[in-house]
Structure 1
Amino acid sequence: MKEPQLYIADADSIRSGAVTDIYFVRTRQVLAAKGLCDTYVRAELHAYSLPRGYEWAVFAGLEEALAILRGRRVNVYAMPEGTLFKPMEPLMVIEGPYCEFAELETAILGVLRHETSIATKAARIRLAAGDRTVLFFGLRALHPAIAPMADRAAYIGGCDGVSGIMSERFLGVKPTGTMPHALIIVFGDQVKAWKAFDEVVDETVPRIALTDTFYDERVEALMAAKALGSRLYGVRLDTPSSRRGNMRKIVQEVRWTLDINGFRHVKIFVSGGLDEDEVRELRDIVDGFGVGTSIAFPPSIDISMDIVEVRRGDKWEPIAKRGKLPGFKQVYRCRLLEDYIVPWDAKPPSCPDGSKPKPLLEKVMENGEIIKELPTVHDIRSYVLEQLRAFSQ
């Protein structure tokens, strides 16, 4: 009988190039046979288009990409992780003998595409939520092997908290979350379950009662408030779409009922199948959101890698497949998303307001060694939020 297994790749397999598409292996074989393996190239990573309705995306996954390339005979230039970018802008450039990183393209693109897609969607949810709390509850929508990555990308994109317990080990972010319906169902009684949670769970964890298991949300919210009194921090409404009705009216009923019964301190959190439109519709009447699948499974930011220069002798030749701009490039920023793409050695453009443009790509790896201090996830998140604030100014 076949033994069951987890279909996951370990870190060493990823770094070695074992997680790749077969045509890169065959390409390397051909180049090696013809003495071309050490041909120096510059390969640019970019997204020439974005999902419908997207005007920008959040560059994420750089740290993991560098971890994959570490020790290889390559130099890497990149935008800072967390930078908001537009289509066609080079996000990262790998420079070195092509066979040093040919078989790594699959893994690098997978890392950058997935993290960038999640971080971008989290940033869009962050904007939709305004100043309300946003928590990422999407791990159950993903293969568990990538849970820390998803939490990282969602946090970078602007979520205030994540639910995965491994996030504390990998990211230094304490996980957030209180109780599932299972707890209440096992007890068979909401009040007993809420009180047991209050008695057992560490005092530092906010008492947020799930209030939609057996009865109407308004009824259960009031039951929880009466059961825990001042100890109740908030209630969470996770009503499935099949029973939801008008969620805004449900929240208004819960808020009204809590208020007239003297429980104005109790906050309201909403979760369950939320996306940007629902978040935007409810943000003025709730205190926070738990968002899962829409962030975990976002529209894809289709980053690709293309050779844009090849060194012939002692000169670099700009060359690329049709549809892509050949040549090593720099992106200069005057203000958020007011960017200019120019050849790497070209004179910086002039900003309309007379300010000095900022070059976005900088050298971060030299001969396989990281030469720039990597920011923490907290630093990257702050950088993203700083850029997002510009949209409300």
Structure 2
Amino acid sequence: MIYKSSLALLTDLYELTMAYGYWKLGMMDREAVFTLFFRKRPFGGNYALAAGLETAIEFIKNFRFEKSDLDYLESLTSPNGEPLFEKGFLDYLSTFTFNCDIFAMPEGTPVFPYEPLILVRGPILQAQLLESALLNIVNFQTLIATKAARICASAEEDEVIEFGLRRAQGIDGAFSGTRATFVGGCQSTSNVIAGKYFGIPVKGTHAHSWIMAFDREEEAFDAYTDVLPDNCIYLVDTYDTVEGVKKAIKVAQKKKTKMLGVRLDSGDLAQLSIKIRKLLDDAGFEDAKIMASNELDELIIRDLKQQGAKINVWGVGTNLITATDQPALDGVYKLAAIQNEKGEWVYKLKISEQLVKTTNPGILQVRRFYDREKKALCDMLYDMEMGCEKNLELIDPLDPTRRKQIDSGEGRDLLIPIFKRGKQVYTSPSLQEIQANTKKELETLDPHYRRFLNPHIYFVGLEKGVYDLKMRLIDDIKGHP
């Protein structure tokens, strides 16, 4: 366990004030369904990569209100100076036992806008309290895993090392972010604590300060070779890159050591790498790698490859760990159904003048259909209670003119049980297994769905019964707001 104490107060205050309201009105045990989904395709691409589930499971398993939490809540006051929460509510929280059902997409699954990554079903008070933490965990790791998948796609078969620790947004940004980069495909990291906890291979040699600590560059290479003869990747651009490579070669030949490679952190990476490759090959170091860093992202890596760069290891930091071009996923957590006093399900949605902000009602499952070549064909959102027919009509909720007919209802349901009445029923795979799942799942998407710019938009439709229900609810709300 990484987070060793309860993080029950990792929440926004309104979650607690709503929970207090449900308790005060005697609604706290009424069954409700919430779904966590995003609206905007990240990075101008087509898909996101589900991540963060294992962290979310850990959070939920350890969810409890400790005495210090309750003491703090007891100290909060309303604007009139009175206690914000009654003592009875705090007593209720002190004996809180989580007993919701949770369904989620396995990590490494490509997911599209409006598809639930997580569905929570259970007492409304409990489901409400999970909102902020689940969004915090899943939004960030999903975003970073998606960015990593794009970068690794650009690098093709080359190794990608995550270098983001020093530029990450805080300790947990580096910690959980590094985990997410491995989900997305990175093979190793410079982040030692993440390597310890997650079993991710760690890599690193030296920085410019090592070179500058010696009188001469060659002396610095010589000393490093003496200290770590089997870990020699020389940073060659402290002063003059080409001369630095020549000095590294001279030291490696003199010491009769196996040079693992050289690293570039500045300059024209394409042209320099071509020159360096020739120098290394001519000196007999054909197996030595050329590593590049320096503000890389998927587009720069792709362009460097198109320019004929001889780089075969990529150290990617800031633009990966902070997702610089889109630093947040717009994930939301919305009420989709609630039981009335008779125990009957009442479906709910939020409407808006913006169609993209109108939510989908129901206890939704996501079913993915495949063609004969096992390529993903389309996704359907259907209601678990209502079920669906064998011959299906799917309707794009944002553009009803886009429809798709499916002759067979056979496909794969993506949301799988994680908790049943608060008991974990899912065994988390290893991080290595998750990474392998990412690779397998991404290969089911045709390249035109995965391209970076103007990708072909993957079809996600509502099952016709759910679509008709949504339209009826919208009409009802507009007629009786």
**Is the 1:167–1:174 contact (alpha carbons within 8 Å) kept by the matching residues of 2?**
no
The answer to which of 277-286 and 298-307 deviates more is 277-286
| Helix, strand or coil at the partner of 2:311 | coil
Give the equivalent residue in structure 1 for 2:80: none
Give the equivalent residue in structure 2 for 1:362: 416
Q: Distance in 1 between matches of 2:133 and 2:236?
A: 43
Cα displacement string for residues 315-363 of structure 1 (whole angstroms, at most 9, x for unaligned residues): 2111121100010111111233621111224226669696931111111
Give the equivalent residue in structure 2 for 1:303: 331
| Helix, strand or coil at the partner of 1:273 | coil
Q: Distance in 2 between matches of 1:349 and 1:198?
A: 67
The answer to which of 270-279 and 138-147 deviates more is 138-147
Letter in 2 for 1:318: Y
Give the equivalent residue in structure 2 for 1:340: 380
- Shift in Å, 1:382: 0.4
Give the equivalent residue in structure 1 for 2:470: none
Structure 1 segment 59-98 matched on structure 2, within 5 A: 59-70=50-61, 72-98=98-124
* Compared CA separation, residues 365 and 202, structure 1 to 2 (3 A): farther
**Is the 1:127–1:388 contact (alpha carbons within 8 Å) kept by the matching residues of 2?**
no
| Higher RCO structure (Cα 8 Å, ≥6 apart) | 1
- Shift in Å, 1:21: 1.1
Cα displacement string for residues 51-86 of structure 1 (whole angstroms, at most 9, x for unaligned residues): 352200100001111222226111101111110111
Q: Distance in 2 between matches of 1:348 and 1:236?
A: 58
Give the equivalent residue in structure 1 for 2:344: 315
Give the equivalent residue in structure 2 for 1:120: 146
* Compared CA separation, residues 52 and 376, structure 1 to 2 (3 A): closer
C-alpha RMSD of the superposition: 2.2
- Shift in Å, 1:156: 0.7
* Compared CA separation, residues 358 and 159, structure 1 to 2 (3 A): same
Give the equivalent residue in structure 2 for 1:288: 313
Q: Distance in 1 between matches of 2:377 and 2:120?
A: 24
Q: Distance in 2 between matches of 1:125 and 1:356?
A: 34
Candidates 231, 241, 247, aligned match of 1:223: 247
Give the equivalent residue in structure 1 for 2:290: 268
Is 1:100 matched with 2:100? no
Query: Which structure 2 residue ranges, 5 or more long, are not aligned?
Result: 62-96, 352-357, 371-375, 392-404, 448-481
| Helix, strand or coil at the partner of 2:275 | helix
Structure 1 consecutive aligned stretches of length 4 or more whose deviation exceeds 6 Å: none
* Compared CA separation, residues 98 and 355, structure 1 to 2 (3 A): closer
Give the equivalent residue in structure 2 for 1:257: 279
Cα displacement string for residues 289-339 of structure 1 (whole angstroms, at most 9, x for unaligned residues): 000011111122221110101011222111121100010111111233621
- Quote the sequence identity (%): 29
Give the equivalent residue in structure 2 for 1:36: 27
* Compared CA separation, residues 44 and 223, structure 1 to 2 (3 A): same
Is 1:48 matched with 2:72? no
- Shift in Å, 1:116: 0.5
Candidates 367, 372, 375, aligned match of 2:426: 372
Is 1:279 matched with 2:304? no
Is 1:12 matched with 2:38? no
Q: Distance in 1 between matches of 2:441 and 2:17?
A: 43
- Shift in Å, 1:188: 3.5
- Shift in Å, 1:258: 2.7
Q: Distance in 2 between matches of 1:167 and 1:328?
A: 36
**Is the 1:340–1:349 contact (alpha carbons within 8 Å) kept by the matching residues of 2?**
no
Is 1:329 matched with 2:364? yes
Q: Distance in 2 between matches of 1:337 and 1:84?
A: 13
Equivalent residue pairs, number: 375
TM-score, scaled relative to structure 1: 0.89
The answer to which of 129-138 and 45-54 deviates more is 45-54
Is 1:213 matched with 2:238? yes
Cα displacement string for residues 192-251 of structure 1 (whole angstroms, at most 9, x for unaligned residues): 222222222373xx4211110122x12211211221135111100011xxxx2x331222
- Shift in Å, 1:261: 3.9
Cα displacement string for residues 147-197 of structure 1 (whole angstroms, at most 9, x for unaligned residues): 331111001100011111112321112311111111111124322222222
Cα displacement string for residues 8-41 of structure 1 (whole angstroms, at most 9, x for unaligned residues): x965242x2x121111122122222222222221
Q: Distance in 2 between matches of 1:337 and 1:192?
A: 59
Is 1:156 matched with 2:183? yes
TM-score, scaled relative to structure 2: 0.73
**Is the 1:42–1:310 contact (alpha carbons within 8 Å) kept by the matching residues of 2?**
yes
- Shift in Å, 1:390: 4.1
